Structure 1
Amino acid sequence: MPPVVRPLVQPAKAQPGDRVAVLSPSFAAPGFAPAVHEQAMRRLTEVTGLVPVEYPTTRRLGASAVDRAADLNAAFADPHIRAVVATVGGEDQITVVPHLDAAAVRDDPKPFLGYSDNTNILTWLWTNGVAGYYGGSTQVHLGPGPRVDEVHARSLRAALLTGGRLEVTEPGESEDLGHDWLDPRALTEHGEREPTEPWTWAGPARTVTGPTWGGCAEVLQWLLTAGRFPADPGVLTGAVLLVETSEELIPPRELGWILRSLGERGVLGAVAAVVAARPPTSHFTDRPGADERRRRREAQRDVVVDVVGRYNADAPVVVGPPFGHTRPQWVVPYGGTMTVDGVARRLWADYG
């Protein structure tokens, strides 16, 4: 079925030397681990040529939802700010969104980058007709480790500066988490990385090109509960659903329940393809061995393929692309175009 999703505004790209707002709409990680944040700011300029600008709540732990929203509104309204990047996610951004100023966003659309809890802001932007980018936490993907991962740097530049169409490829290695941010090794070493498995392709061998929507499964569940989704799921007809899970490590059956709810809501039946990210399967307090991590990934994969197939047998599905809570991470379009090629088994993203 041809796409009927309303067209979104694709914000203009920044230029090297422009200013980019670096904000903490959820957890103020820079206030907790300033050394990682400061390294991230240096690397942001090295990778993009942009000048980071912090706001009052960027490092303020415990800032109110009203104050965090005020910083977002100020950044979106400032004509000298040409992009907005989140430092990290969290779990309470849903309380920030009601205080955001849609007029400022519509008057001067600019790229917003974030993932996880930032699904809240990205869906709000989408509802207000503005596309964004899923991924790009400075505290997770720029600050830690010996360097910025190549696929992250390439897709970050495409989102912020260069645009173009990139093939989303498998970097060949992955980690669920790095060192504790307060450990000096966080600044110089990766976490435990392991070789990746081939992506799983399911559904019909056909090619779908459409605008993306979705995000972190846990947050999507909250948004649907809060009623922050259009009454008619038909607005997603022809879209590509992005879905990934967080470091909370929800059980596969819980992910299945969330996807089932999306199916009952009409979302799975409306979209034309589904892309599910490689999931994290360990955390600081839950560190299983390699075999158990693989089993957990396979169990989640099987749930995605099964539930999507029950609600939409015509949708190509790919499970494994790294755009979620693992590293290296691809930044991908949110409301922009993605091509899921189930024939050649390749994935492409259009950065405008």
Structure 2
Amino acid sequence: MALRFVRPPRLVPGSRVAALSLSSGFVTEVMGRYHAGVRQVAAGFGWEVVPAPNALRGPEYLDAHPQARADDLHWALRNPDIHGLVSIIGGDDSVRLLPFLDLGLIADHPKVFLGYSDATVTLNQFLRAGVMAYHGPALLTDLAENGGMHPFAAEGLRRALVDEPRPFDLAPAPEWTQAHVDWEDETAQAVRRPFQPGDGWVWLQGEREAEGHLMGGCLEVLDMLNGTPGWPVHELWQGAVLALETSEDVPPPRQVGYWLRNYAAQGLLAGAAGLLLARPRDYTPEMVEELHGWVRRVLREAGRGDLPVVANVDFGHTSPQLTLPLGGRVRLDPAAGRVTVWP
């Protein structure tokens, strides 16, 4: 039987969105970038971004007080004047919030939560609470993109969070970048980063259509979450289309293979409906080829040579990125080269 998750109310012009530092408190070192994100969100969608009470207290305070970060999430959920939540930036330790999180509040006050990277921890707590969550831009990344929000990222957000719910097809980005920019240099904010032409998706295997609910996130963060009380129960993974991406840590392709072997050992690959594999950040062409080889190898070992797999999808740590509704339905059609989402 297909799992169903509660869809949070849409965000509309005038919505107030809480900015949360659930991971790093780095934002206080790049406040010009923060204000650029606030301005671009207001201009693009008409949302008012409101910092949560502890969000701007700095990296030292937030590192020492993980409960304060969890308190911010709870504040945003309880506050009737807050309509959505957005991660300011990632990091590497939001797994420390698990002892303090109240899944009942998430279930009782379903609201849009948007983020990626270390926000993978929180995204999966929303799924554990039965609420859809949105793997997509953070405030300091695509929302504060140099030279203005990229139309591809803006359209992805609009279809997932703003428009009336209806199926839509994902598409490859027409261009992409992983170029580094110094966020402390406020003069660079108005200068567009260099982009390279998009090179489309790669269908690695699978011939038959498949459909399931989206699960996943950043592989490195999922590895930290694996085995903790915050790891989704086995039933949540069954029938899922896995959306998996890697970070700027650039894990070697063989490491991705080892993580997938763990999923095979847990039975997650046996019960999966499909796999969306993100464009890997800072991989050479040779590493990409090796990565695809490892994915095919592990799926073959797991007896899932039939699993439809589409790689080079634009989500995660390259820009612009799609917004994926975790918990929402997705259909993969390898013959047509089509991925359809129900947000």
TM-score of the two chains, using structure 2 as the length reference: 0.93
Please tell me the residue identity of whatever aligns with 2:80: P
Report the Cα offset of residue 35 of structure 1: 0.6
Shift of 1:196: 3.1
Structure 2 residue identity aligned to 1:209: E
Residues 260 and 185 (structure 1), Cα distance of their counterparts in 2 relative to 1, 3 Å cut: farther
AA aligned to 1:201 is: W
User: Partners of 1:40 and 1:7 in 2: how far apart?
Assistant: 33
Secondary structure of the residue aligned to 1:270 is: coil
Per the alignment, do residues 59 and 273 of structure 1 end up closer, same or farther by CA in structure 2, a change over 3 Å counting? Answer: same
Aligned amino acid, residue 18 of structure 1: S
2:200 aligned with 1:198: yes
DSSP-derived class of the 1:124 partner: helix
Q: Which residue of 2 aligns with 1:349?
A: 341
SS at the partner of 2:53? coil
Match of 2:318 in 1: 326
Q: Deviations over 1:34-76 (max 9, x none)?
A: 1111010011111111111112222222212111111110001
Matched, 1:301 2:298: no
**Residues 150-178 of structure 1 deviation map (CA, whole Å, 9 limit, x = unaligned):** 12101112232213322211123221243
Aligned equivalents of 1:97, 1:158: Cα separation in 2: 31
Q: CA deviation at 1:27?
A: 1.2
Q: What's the CA shift for 1:227?
A: 4.4
Structure 2 partner of 1:261: 262
User: 2 CA distance for matches of 1:331 and 1:40?
Assistant: 17
Per-residue CA deviations over 1:282-306 (Å, capped at 9, x if unaligned) read 6xxxxxxxxxx22222222222233
Letter in 2 for 1:197: D
Deviations 1:13-33 (A, max 9, x none): 122112111111111232121
* Whole-Å separation in 2 of the counterparts to 1:96 and 1:272: 30
Report the Cα distance in structure 1 between the residues aligned to 2:307 and 2:298, rounded to whole angstroms: 11
Structure 2 residue matching 1:225: 3-state secondary structure: coil
TM-score by length of 1: 0.91
Offset from partner CA, 1:125-172 (integer Å, 9 cap, x none): 111111111012110101131121112101112232213322211123
Partner of residue 210, structure 1 = 212
Q: Does 1:53 align with 2:50?
A: yes
d(CA) in 2 for partners of 1:303, 1:227: 29
Shift of 1:197: 2.5
- Gaps of at least 5 residues in structure 2 are none
Identity between Structure 1 and Structure 2 (%): 32
Conserved? CA contact 1:341–1:347, under 8 Å? yes
Could you tell me how far 1:5 is from its partner in structure 2? 4.7
1:28 paired to 2:25: yes
RMSD over equivalenced CA pairs, Å? 1.6
| Aligned-residue offset at 1:237 | 2.4
Comparing 4-13 with 255-264, which one deviates more in the overlay? 4-13
Deviation at 1:185, TM superposition (A): 4.8
C-alpha separation in 2, matches of 1:106 and 1:234: 18
Q: Distance in 2 between matches of 1:269 and 1:120?
A: 23
Asked if the contact 1:172–1:195 (Cα under 8 Å) also holds between the matched residues in 2, the reply is: yes
Q: Distance in 1 between matches of 2:154 and 2:265?
A: 38
Superposed counterparts of 1:182-261, under 5 Å = 182-231=184-233, 233-261=234-262
Q: Does 188-197 or 125-134 show the bigger shift? A: 188-197
